[in-house]
């Protein structure tokens, strides 16, 4: 999978993709993430990306031209499956959407800033708008990092244990059951006996019951 991220503040994203699972995914050649400075496509002598909104009002708006030039250039390099705009009023990112995007080959992710982008970007250049939650961030970079992480960890071979992404919370519509590790008893706090029993069918049943119980308690909306 190849992801191009377009940002007005690319430094915000560098460290995120040079650590841990995301770095390993790139070293293994399973994912390639390129972070681009949108200013490289600005024709303004001060490399500006924003301008005043027509009709007045507070805040600046990202102009269409550098965004269009960037997307056009990147589309010339490979077949792009999705051009995603991170925006608080996009559709909410959930596991099902991450699964859907994980089978795409090439994506461009555009990070908004200031008041947002000229509406014509959204109408003509974007295939999806995605929000990571009902709150407003100061830019789309964190949201782009969240989306990329949620998608890249699903690519086959990225996680060490092939089954571990499948046992994530939400993959089966339930939150994950509790996990324990050694010691089996700490200051009198014990690990449930069943997990030490070695009886796999019973362990699986216990985990499923726990997941169901937790979902009812914490996220009843998931049960429909
Ligand atoms: N940009 C600003 N806030 C955002 C959010 N909640 N989700 C996605 N992109 C954003």
Q: What is the pLDDT of residue 3?
A: 98
Asked whether residue 11 is assigned to any structural domain, the reply reads: yes
Please tell me whether residues 22 and 85 are part of one structural domain.
yes
Assign residue 195 the CATH number of its domain: 1.10.1270.20
> Which of 122, 152, 182 corresponds to the end of one domain?
152
Please tell me whether residues 14 and 124 are part of one structural domain.
yes
Please tell me whether residues 144 and 175 are part of one structural domain.
no
Asked whether residue 159 is assigned to any structural domain, the reply reads: no
Asked whether residue 192 is assigned to any structural domain, the reply reads: yes
Asked whether residue 46 is assigned to any structural domain, the reply reads: yes
C-alpha 106 – ligand 1 centre gap (Å): 21
Please tell me whether residues 91 and 179 are part of one structural domain.
no
Please tell me whether residues 194 and 137 are part of one structural domain.
no
Question: Is the preceding peptide bond at 183 cis, omega within 30 degrees of 0?
Answer: yes
pLDDT tens digits for 113-147?
878 999 999 999 999 999 999 999 999 999 999 99
DSSP conformation letters of 181-205:
-S-SEETTEEPPHHHHS--HHHHHH
Please tell me whether residues 69 and 173 are part of one structural domain.
no
- Of 8, 52, 1, whose CA–CA distance to 30 is shortest? 1
Asked whether residue 164 is assigned to any structural domain, the reply reads: no
Q: Which two tokens stand for residue 78?
A: 């490979």
C-alpha 72 – ligand 1 centre gap (Å): 24
Please tell me whether residues 209 and 140 are part of one structural domain.
no
Please tell me whether residues 200 and 145 are part of one structural domain.
no
Helix (H) or strand (E) holding 107: strand 106-111
Pocket test for ligand 1, best of 116, 142, 146, 149 (most atoms within 8 A of CB): 142
C-alpha 148 – ligand 1 centre gap (Å): 14
pLDDT at 224 over 90: no
Q: What is the pLDDT of residue 163?
A: 65
**CA gap 143, 109 in Å, rounded:** 10
φ/ψ region of 85 (left if φ > 0, alpha if ψ in -120 to 50, else beta) reads beta
Indicate the number of domains in the chain: 2
Please tell me whether residues 8 and 119 are part of one structural domain.
yes
Asked whether residue 158 is assigned to any structural domain, the reply reads: no
Assign residue 82 the CATH number of its domain: 3.40.1280.10
Asked whether residue 163 is assigned to any structural domain, the reply reads: no
Please tell me whether residues 33 and 107 are part of one structural domain.
yes
Task: Report the mean per-residue pLDDT for the chain.
Answer: 95
What's the domain range around 188? 169-223
Asked whether residue 162 is assigned to any structural domain, the reply reads: no
Angle, in degrees to the nearest 10, between helices 141-152 and 20-27: 60
Please list every protein residue whose CB sits less than 6 Å from any atom of ligand 1: 86-88, 112, 131-133, 135-137, 140, 143
pLDDT at 161 over 80: no
Work out the percent of the chain whose per-residue pLDDT is above 90.
87
pLDDT tens digits for 52-87?
999 999 999 999 999 999 999 999 999 999 999 999
Please tell me whether residues 39 and 66 are part of one structural domain.
yes
> Which of 118, 152, 186 corresponds to the end of one domain?
152
Please tell me whether residues 112 and 195 are part of one structural domain.
no
Which atom belonging to ligand 1 lies closest to the Cα atom of 135? 6
> Which of 117, 152, 187 corresponds to the end of one domain?
152
Read off the pTM.
0.92
DSSP conformation letters of 109-148:
EEEP-TT-B-HHHHHHT-SEEEESSSS--SSSHHHHHHHH
Q: Where does residue 218 rank: exposed (0-12), middle (13-18), buried (19+ CB within 10 A)?
A: exposed
């Amino acid at each position: 999978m190849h992801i191009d991220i377009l940002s007005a503040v690319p430094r915000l994203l560098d460290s995120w993709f040079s650590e841990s699972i995301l770095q390993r995914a790139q070293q293994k050649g399973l994912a390639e993430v390129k972070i681009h400075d949108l200013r490289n496509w600005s024709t303004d002598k001060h490399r500006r990306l924003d301008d005043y909104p027509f009709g007045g009002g507070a805040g600046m708006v990202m102009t269409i031209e550098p965004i269009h030039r960037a997307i056009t250039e990147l589309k010339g390099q490979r077949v792009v499956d999705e051009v995603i705009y991170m925006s608080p009023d996009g559709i909410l990112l959930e596991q099902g959407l991450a699964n859907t995007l994980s089978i795409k080959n090439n994506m461009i992710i555009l990070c908004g800033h200031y008041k947002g982008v000229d509406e014509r970007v959204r109408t003509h250049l974007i295939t999806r708008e995605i929000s990571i939650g009902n709150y407003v961030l100061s830019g789309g970079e964190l949201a782009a990092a969240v989306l990329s992480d949620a998608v890249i960890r699903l690519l086959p071979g990225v996680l060490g244990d092939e089954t571990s992404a499948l046992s994530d919370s939400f993959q089966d519509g339930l939150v994950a059951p509790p996990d324990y590790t050694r010691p089996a008893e700490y200051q009198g706090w014990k690990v449930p006996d069943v997990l030490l029993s070695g009886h796999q069918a019973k362990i699986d049943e216990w985990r499923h019951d726990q997941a169901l119980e937790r979902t009812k308690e914490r996220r009843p909306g998931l049960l429909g």
